[in-house]
Structure 1
Amino acid sequence: MSVGVLFTQGLVTGDPHTVLGEILEQAEAADRLGFSHALTTEHKYSDEYFGSPLHLSYAIAARTQRVKVGTAIAIAPLYNPMELAQDSAMLDQLSGGRAWLGLGVGYMPVDYSTVGVSWEDRAQRFDETVRILRQAHTSERFSFSDEIYTFDDVSVIPQPVQAGGVPLHLAAWTPGGLRRAGRLADGWITNALMSLQTMTAMAADYRAAAEAAGRTPHVTSIRFCWPYTSREAALEKFGDTALAMARTLFDYGAITDLPGVSSSAEITLEEFVKDRFVFGTPQECVETVGRFRDEAGVDDFLMIFRYPTGPDHAAVLEAMELFGAEVLPALAADHRKVRA
C-alpha cells in the first residue's frame, strides 16, 4: 500500500506564479518525505483548478527523483487521443518511467464547451481514448477505427519507458464507468468525498468487472487529509476550508451519497470526518486509512492536503511533514502486520 499527494489549486489560491511554485515545493517535499505520488488534476473552466495538468506534471517530474508523476484526473475526452498518448509517453521518458495517468470523463458540461468538445458523446469518446492510449503505448505502429476516431498507421515517438506503457487508472462513479474501468484499466480511482460505504460497494462492482476481464483489480482512493497534534489548530486551519470545499462539490453534483441532505448548508464537518476525511492525530489517521484498506480493499491513497482556498502553504508543508514522519512509517508497519 502506498500514499501519494494530489494537488488541487487554481487562481483563487493566489497569484498563479506563486501558487505554482508552492505546488512544486510541495512536490519536492512529497518526494523527500516518502510519499509515492505527486499528481495533478484539472477543470478547463474554473478559478479553483489549473487546466493544464500534464504541463504541470512535466515541471514536477523535473523537480523530483522518486514519486510517480501525472494526473488524477485528466478529463480524457477533451484531448486528442494521439496527442495525449504522445504527451504522457514524453512524461514517462522525462521522469525515467514514473508516469501515472489517471483519467476521467468529468462531470461539468462547461469543461466541454470551453474547448469545443461534445458533451453528449463523452462516454464513447472516453472509451475510445483509453483503447487508443493502450495501443499507442504498446505498438510500434497501429491503426484504429471506431465511432469517433480513425487513425491509420500511426505511432508515438518515443515510446514510454515502462513496459506495457504508462499505467492507466480510470475514475468512475456509475455502473457503466466501473465496468469500463474493470474492462480497460490498470485500476479504479474513487472520488474524493464518497463515503466508506459507497466506496466499498463500488469497489466490489469494479473488482468483479476486472476479474471478469482477466485483469488484476487495483483501487486508488482520493481522500482529503489533515493530520494534527492540536485539534483546535487543525479546525482553524483545515475546518472552514474543508467544509467550504465539501459544500461546493455538493453544489457541483460531485457528492451524491448524502441521504436526507437537500442543501449544502446542511453539511457538517463532523459528518465528513466520520468516514470521508482522513483527519485526526497521526494514530487516528492510521486507523482511518486502515478502515478504508480493510473494508473497501483500497490498495493506494492519494491525499489532498490543500484545497483551492487553503490552508496556506506553510501549514500544508507542516502537515505533510507530520504525515511523513509519523503516519507513513506507522502505516507501513501496520500493513506488514496485516499481510503477515
Structure 2
Amino acid sequence: MSVGVLFTQGQVTGEPRTTLAEILEQAEAADRLGFSAALTTEHKDSDEYFGAPLHLAFAIAARTQRVRVGTAIAIAPLYAPAVLAQDAAILDQLSGGRAWLGLGAGYMPVDYTAAGVPWEDRAQRFDETVRIVRAAHTQERFSFDDQLHHFEDLAVLPRPLQPEGVPLHLAAWTPGGLRRAGRLGDGWITNALMSLDTMTTMAADYRAAAEAAGRRPHVTSIRFCWPYTSREEALELFGDTALAMARTLFDYGAVTDLPGVTSADQITLEEFVRDRFVFGTPEECVETIGRFRDQAGVDDFLMIFRYPTGPDHRSVLRAMELFGTEVLPALDRPAVPA
C-alpha cells in the first residue's frame, strides 16, 4: 500500500504566488518523507482551487525526485484530447517516468461554462478523451473516429517514457462512471468524502466491471487527513477548516450519502471523523487506514492535509512530518495476528 498527497488550495488560501510556493514546499516534503505521490486537482471557476493542474504538476516534477506527479483529478472533457496526451507525455519524460493521470468528468456545470465546453455531452467526451490519450501513448500513429472526435494518422511526440503510457485512473461515483473506470481505466479514484460503506459497495461494482473487461482492478481512496499528538490542538487546527470544506462540498453536490441530512449545517465533525476522515493519533490513523484497506479493498491513498481555508502551511508540514515518520513506517509492517 502506498500513500500520496493531494493539494487542494487556491486563491482563497492566500496570495497566489505564496500559496503556490507553499505547495511546492509541501511536495518536496512529501518526496523526502516517503509519500508515494504529490498530485494536483482543479476547478476552473473557483477561488478555492487553482485551475491549471498540469502546469502545477510540471513545477512539482522539477522540484522532486521520487514521487508520482500529475493530477487527481483533471476534468478530462475540458481538454483537447491530443493536447492532454502530449502534455502528459512531456510530464512523464521530464519526471523520469513518474507521471500519473487521475481524470474525471467533473460534477459542476460552471467548470464547463468557464472552459466553453458543453455540459450535456460530458460523459461521451470523457469516454473518448480517455481512449484517445491511451491510443496516443501506446501507438506510434493512430486514427480515431467516434461521435465527437475524428483523427487520421495522428502521432503524439514524444511518447511517454513509461512503456505502457501514463497510468490513467478514473474518478467516478455513479453506476455508469464506475463501469467506465472498470472498462477504460488503470484504476478507480473515490471522492474525498464518501463513507466507508459507500466506498465498499462502489468498489465491488468497479471491480466487477474491471474484471469483466479483463483489467486488474485498483482502488485509490482520497481522504481528508490529520494526524496529531494533541487532540485539542488538532481540533483547533483541523476541525473547523475540515468541517467547512465538507459542508462546502455537500453544497456543491459532492457528498450524496448522508441519509436525513438536508442542509450543510446539519453535518457534524464527529460523523466525518468516525467514517470518512483519517484523523487521530498515529496509531489511530493506522487503524483507520487498515479498515478502509480491509473492508473496501483500498490499494492506495491520497491524503488531503490542507484545504483552501487551512490549516496553515507550517502546521501542514508538521502534520506531514508526523504522518511520514510514524504512520507510513507502520503501514509497511506486517499485521500482528489477533
TM-score by length of 2: 0.99
- Measure, in 1, the Cα distance between the counterparts of 2:206 and 2:239: 32
Which letter maps to 2:191?
N
Residue 311 of structure 2 is matched in structure 1 by: 311
1:115 deviates by 1.1
Aligned to 1:4, what secondary structure does the other structure show? strand
Residue 337 of structure 1 is matched in structure 2 by: 335
Residue 224 of structure 1 is matched in structure 2 by: 224
Aligned to 2:287, what secondary structure does the other structure show? helix
Residue 45 of structure 2 is matched in structure 1 by: 45
Residue 187 of structure 2 is matched in structure 1 by: 187
> Are 1:99 and 2:99 counterparts?
yes
- Measure, in 2, the Cα distance between the counterparts of 1:142 and 1:179: 25
> Are 1:29 and 2:16 counterparts?
no
1:25 deviates by 0.2
5+ residue gaps in structure 2?
A: none
Aligned to 1:337, what secondary structure does the other structure show? coil
- Measure, in 1, the Cα distance between the counterparts of 2:183 and 2:112: 25
- Measure, in 2, the Cα distance between the counterparts of 1:248 and 1:159: 39
Residue 137 of structure 1 is matched in structure 2 by: 137
Aligned to 2:147, what secondary structure does the other structure show? coil
1:328 deviates by 0.2
- Measure, in 1, the Cα distance between the counterparts of 2:164 and 2:4: 22
> Are 1:255 and 2:255 counterparts?
yes
Relative distance call for 1:338 and 1:209 in structure 2 (3 A) is: farther
Which letter maps to 2:209?
A
Residue 323 of structure 2 is matched in structure 1 by: 323
Residue 277 of structure 1 is matched in structure 2 by: 277
Aligned residue pairs total 337
Cα deviation 1:83-102 (Å, max 9, x = unaligned): 00000000000000000000
- Measure, in 1, the Cα distance between the counterparts of 2:250 and 2:138: 39
- Measure, in 2, the Cα distance between the counterparts of 1:131 and 1:251: 32
- Measure, in 2, the Cα distance between the counterparts of 1:323 and 1:304: 12
Cα deviation 1:17-52 (Å, max 9, x = unaligned): 000000000000000000000000000000000000
- Measure, in 2, the Cα distance between the counterparts of 1:127 and 1:70: 20
Aligned to 2:72, what secondary structure does the other structure show? strand
Aligned to 2:256, what secondary structure does the other structure show? coil
- Measure, in 1, the Cα distance between the counterparts of 2:78 and 2:240: 33
- Measure, in 2, the Cα distance between the counterparts of 1:228 and 1:296: 25
- Measure, in 1, the Cα distance between the counterparts of 2:227 and 2:234: 8
1:163 deviates by 1.2
Residue 151 of structure 1 is matched in structure 2 by: 151
Flag as ranges the 4+ runs of structure 1 deviating above 4 A.
none
Cα deviation 1:285-309 (Å, max 9, x = unaligned): 0000000000000000000000000
> Are 1:164 and 2:168 counterparts?
no
Which letter maps to 1:296?
A
Residue 121 of structure 2 is matched in structure 1 by: 121
Residue 244 of structure 2 is matched in structure 1 by: 244
- Measure, in 1, the Cα distance between the counterparts of 2:166 and 2:14: 33
- Measure, in 2, the Cα distance between the counterparts of 1:331 and 1:338: 12
Residue 76 of structure 2 is matched in structure 1 by: 76
5+ residue gaps in structure 1?
A: none
Residue 89 of structure 2 is matched in structure 1 by: 89
- Measure, in 2, the Cα distance between the counterparts of 1:296 and 1:262: 27
Residue 297 of structure 1 is matched in structure 2 by: 297
Which letter maps to 1:285?
C
- Measure, in 1, the Cα distance between the counterparts of 2:336 and 2:183: 29
Which letter maps to 1:332?
D
Aligned to 1:232, what secondary structure does the other structure show? helix
Aligned to 2:335, what secondary structure does the other structure show? helix
1:337 deviates by 3.3
TM-score by length of 1: 0.98
- Measure, in 1, the Cα distance between the counterparts of 2:72 and 2:151: 27
1:338 deviates by 7.8
- Measure, in 1, the Cα distance between the counterparts of 2:85 and 2:336: 38
- Measure, in 2, the Cα distance between the counterparts of 1:163 and 1:300: 22
